[in-house]
Structure 1
Amino acid sequence: MFNSVNSATCIGLSSILIWASLVAVVKLITESLTPISAIALIYSFSAMSILVLNGLPRFQHMSKVYVWGCGALFVAYEILFLVSIALSQNHDQVLIIAMINYLWPPLTIVFSILAKQLNYRWPIVLGFIVSVLGLLLVVNPDILNLRQFLHILQQNPIAYFFAFLGALLWPCYSVLTKKYAQGQNAVPLFFVVTAVSLWGIHFMMDEAFIFPQLNMWLLIAVTGALVGIAYSNWNQSLQFGNIKLLILATYFMPVLSSFMSMLILEATPSLSFWIGTCLVTFGAMICWKSTAEI
């Protein structure tokens, strides 16, 4: 499918750029429409995009644990993460939610160790602590002030809880997928279920539907299509590209996502936010360097 390893790797890196921009773009769209319907529209286009590129998988021949178990985790993660963005009350909260979500790289390593998929060395403990301290610094620059920390969380507890729960679910999905997928790819099916579930939530909540204007339709269609393309390209790039470089690049997503959000949302993160973001990335990289596949 690709002319060279380098082209496959570049395609994979483009997926990371799309995901890093997703948080800010989703927030822009949900600010103009009702939250759940906006997300449902985006993922409807994503589902159509990935179906066009990959087709509907023959899930009858796949492991039931993978299809039902991993599928449920995938759908739950996508919904929780996207809804947490939609529920954010301002752009500063969007940045915090993104950082909570990007705890998943070190958590994936921890869960992989518990599942006996990785060997590890003691610096992994240091890496995980550094990531958590970085997140705490992002949420509350006065990191030792517990009362201030709780006050910040109480400003939007549901959104922060959804983001944190999503950060726990994605590592579970990753670990179980590695064990049960057996080389199969049911992501197109998962996207369809995610889109249908979001529309179900929209109707159950009796949420008003704001019909998007033409420019918003274009933004929704492009965003949704790019998300579908990113997932499709990522699976291909992992097979044909430089997997070590691609995995390493994912650990820079907190910094990249913050930078893209700053540009798109015109936010002005504080110095402590950037320090915390870099600590999250640095801690994840320590965890990565301290492990090896069994």
Structure 2
Amino acid sequence: MKQINRYTWLGLSSILIWASLVAVVKLITESISPILALALIYSFSALCILGLNGFPKISQMPKRYLWGCGSFFVCYEILFLSSVAYSHNHEQVLIIGMINYLWPPLTVIFAIFAQQLSYQWTVILGFILAILGLMIVVNPDILAVSKFWTVLQQNPIAYSFALIGAVLWSCFSVFTKKYAQGHNATPFFFAVTAIALWGIHFISAEPFTLPSLGMWGAIVMTGSLIGIAYSHWNQSLQFGDMKLLILATYFMPILSSVMSILILDATPQLAFWIGTILVTLGAIICWKSTAARH
């Protein structure tokens, strides 16, 4: 029992790290060139997770999982983190974080289409609530459609990246279940992500800004914690209380919002919290309305 509790706590710590990721990445990318910051962070993430897990035996893995799911993983990480890096202010970071957390209900919907889950009609209600919550976060005056588009047009690239990323991560989750066959190529995916970010940095001719000593510390710590979180998450799903861990992931919109507000010193309106709760509630309803097919 103690061993199970230990792995469950490791899984919960991973969720806490991921909830803090959005705000921490934003602070780092404000100090040095955005893509350079992401490349440095993920270089240390890759080194950390490779050190903890070793390099996977990719020759033994199903090709659809390795290259198909791997593409979803790499593109998601790049698009989501780039959307955070290119946000214009801390209020936009909160909106981007909420767009990202559409992935739980999207994953449920995609899993239903992939015939991995059986469902009840209430899953539709949950998905609608999640979308409604996001719309309230973007525009509290939800009936004013013109204001909704005005907000989105303030940074269409960042918001589009975040939405595409949420869809890609949902696809990664569904297809990994279908094609992974028990394999775990996460260390390899991280290495490819880091290499891709360095490639984007050099191709875009982005200036190389040498980080300060304190910023180096933040980069190393953030990158290492990301690697540790992914490593611990895989262990916790195998040996921890999976039901508790999966339930905890559905509260990540609220937890991430709290962490972002504390770290970025943002002051959202009441409507933001209403929308955040609706996104969370919608995701939970989607989860409760489904069951795995046997």
- Specify the TM-score bucket, using the shorter chain as the normaliser: over 0.9
Q: CA deviation at 1:59?
A: 0.5
Map 1:222-233 to 2 at 5 A.
222-233=221-232
Which secondary structure does the structure 1 equivalent of 2:8 belong to?
A: helix
Cα distance in 2 for residues equivalent to 1:3 and 1:279: 35
Map 1:193-272 to 2 at 5 A.
193-272=192-271
Q: Give the count of matched residue pairs.
A: 293
- Structure 1 match to 2:66: 67
Q: CA deviation at 1:268?
A: 0.5
Q: CA deviation at 1:134?
A: 0.1
- Structure 1 match to 2:121: 122
Q: CA deviation at 1:3?
A: 4.8
- Give the partner amino acid of 1:198: L
- Give the partner amino acid of 2:124: V
- Structure 2 match to 1:39: 38
> 5+ unaligned residues in a row in structure 2: which ranges?
none
Q: CA deviation at 1:182?
A: 0.5
Which secondary structure does the structure 2 equivalent of 1:4 belong to?
A: helix
Which secondary structure does the structure 1 equivalent of 2:207 belong to?
A: coil
- Structure 1 match to 2:49: 50
Cα distance in 1 for residues equivalent to 2:60 and 2:246: 29
- Structure 1 match to 2:16: 17
TM-score when normalising by structure 2: 0.99
- Deviations for 1:174-229, whole angstroms, at most 9, x for unmatched residues? 01000110000000000000000000000000000110011000000000000000
Which secondary structure does the structure 2 equivalent of 1:119 belong to?
A: strand
TM-score when normalising by structure 1: 0.99
Cα distance in 1 for residues equivalent to 2:2 and 2:169: 32
Cα distance in 1 for residues equivalent to 2:287 and 2:167: 18
Cα distance in 2 for residues equivalent to 1:145 and 1:93: 19
Which secondary structure does the structure 1 equivalent of 2:66 belong to?
A: helix
Which secondary structure does the structure 1 equivalent of 2:291 belong to?
A: strand
Which secondary structure does the structure 1 equivalent of 2:235 belong to?
A: helix
Cα distance in 2 for residues equivalent to 1:244 and 1:161: 32
Which secondary structure does the structure 1 equivalent of 2:118 belong to?
A: strand
Cα distance in 1 for residues equivalent to 2:149 and 2:290: 34
- Structure 2 match to 1:94: 93
> 5+ unaligned residues in a row in structure 1: which ranges?
none
- Give the partner amino acid of 2:169: W
Cα distance in 1 for residues equivalent to 2:45 and 2:142: 39
- Give the partner amino acid of 1:91: H
Q: Percent identity?
A: 68
Cα distance in 2 for residues equivalent to 1:256 and 1:3: 26
Map 1:104-115 to 2 at 5 A.
104-115=103-114
Aligned CA-pair RMSD: 0.7
Cα distance in 2 for residues equivalent to 1:147 and 1:99: 20
Cα distance in 2 for residues equivalent to 1:292 and 1:260: 31
- Structure 2 match to 1:185: 184
- Deviations for 1:29-54, whole angstroms, at most 9, x for unmatched residues? 00000000000000000000000000
- Deviations for 1:160-180, whole angstroms, at most 9, x for unmatched residues? 000000010001000100011
Cα distance in 2 for residues equivalent to 1:209 and 1:281: 39
1:176 and 2:175 correspond:
yes
Q: CA deviation at 1:4?
A: 1.4
- Structure 1 match to 2:82: 83
1:131 and 2:130 correspond:
yes
Runs of 4+ in 1 over 3 A off after TM superposition: none
Cα distance in 1 for residues equivalent to 2:175 and 2:288: 22
Cα distance in 2 for residues equivalent to 1:164 and 1:145: 21
